Homo-oligomer: A and B are copies of this chain.
Amino acid sequence: MDLVKELLNGSRLALARAITAVESEYDEAIDIMKAIYPKTGRARILGITGAPGAGKSTLTDKLVKQYVKAGKKVGIVAVDPTSPFSGGAILGDRIRMNDLATNENVFIRSMGTRGSLGGLSKKSSDVVKLMDAFGMDLIIIETVGVGQSEVDIVKNADSTLVVLVPGLGDDIQAIKAGILEIGDVFAINKADRDGCDKLNVEIEMMLDLDSRKLAWRPPIKRTIASQDVGVEELVESLDDHFEYLEDSGELQKRRAERTRDEIIAMINEQIGRYIADKIVSSDSFAEQVEAVNRRESDPYSVVFNVTDKVLKA
């Protein structure tokens, strides 16, 4: 395919078009992904997530500048799964990155939430692969929110940076519990705010409570991204973690698991489409649903009818 050849030859336009094909589920998307797949697996993938208002975008901005200064080519996939209808709430943030967007060693793509969320995790993972095949050294997946969907998206990364901020309310802290357990490195951003020491202690306590007895103890770094404070030290910690992943064999293990999980998710998605096309649109299905609504049947019986019809033995 010409598009794939151009992408592999370093055409940013081809990369942008390939991403659009994947995002919009064009017919050629799978052929593109199959063709680029052998060229993937070389980039380092960093997930960045954290509480709303933690300054993730600014911090990402500063991090990327450090990596670019060190001669790295960086791709950024900014995913916003919080807005199921309007999408694109992230665009305001991205505008701040304008000076990066014009850098030839940086490629930024924002992804809203058109289609299913499962789809969003899968699509962002495909976009990462496209950037990987394109030749990026580092690919950052940044998510805006704090829910399960963000966790799913960040699971496509090798390392995860969790960005927290001092002085948010208790409700926000409760939300953080879910993302604490996926952090390989923590940044307390806006570290000049009151409550920084308290938050640091809280994170250390949660890490102490972690029963998994990890070989890697996640470091906690303090940053003031808007003033470029602590960013170099954060980069060092991120590099340390990636080195640890490589040296321990953990990287290979994580990636193998990810491939497996990804394939399973794709199988389920593929079958879901089959069900939607062949079953859900049929008259017989509509009749069965109506019978359920009249309480003459029940959902569980319909489910068994359908799976019986669809699955081989």
Residues of B contacting A89 in the complex (Cβ-Cβ under 8 angstroms)? 174-175, 177-178
- State whether A267 touches B150 (Cβ < 8 A): no
- In the complex, per-residue mask of A77-89: 1 if CB is within 8 Å of any chain B CB, else 0: 0000111111001
- State whether B263 touches A302 (Cβ < 8 A): yes
Q: A148-B82, A312-B311 are in contact. Are A264 and B276 (CB under 8 A)?
A: yes
Measured as residues with beta carbon below 8 angstroms from the partner, the interface class of chain A is 35 or more
- Chain B, Cβ-Cβ closest to A29: B300
Residues of B contacting A255 in the complex (Cβ-Cβ under 8 angstroms)? 293
Say if the beta carbon of A71 comes within 8 Å of chain B: no
Q: How many copies of this chain?
A: 2
Inter-chain CA distance A89–B34, complex, in Å, is 42
Q: A146-B147, A292-B259 are in contact. Are A303 and B266 (CB under 8 A)?
A: yes
Say if the beta carbon of A260 comes within 8 Å of chain B: yes
Inter-chain CA distance A254–B86, complex, in Å, is 22
- State whether B86 touches A37 (Cβ < 8 A): no
Say if the beta carbon of A195 comes within 8 Å of chain B: no
Say if the beta carbon of A181 comes within 8 Å of chain B: yes
- State whether B268 touches A148 (Cβ < 8 A): no
Say if the beta carbon of A10 comes within 8 Å of chain B: no
Residues of B contacting A175 in the complex (Cβ-Cβ under 8 angstroms)? 52, 82-83, 89, 145
Say if the beta carbon of A309 comes within 8 Å of chain B: yes
Inter-chain CA distance A92–B276, complex, in Å, is 41
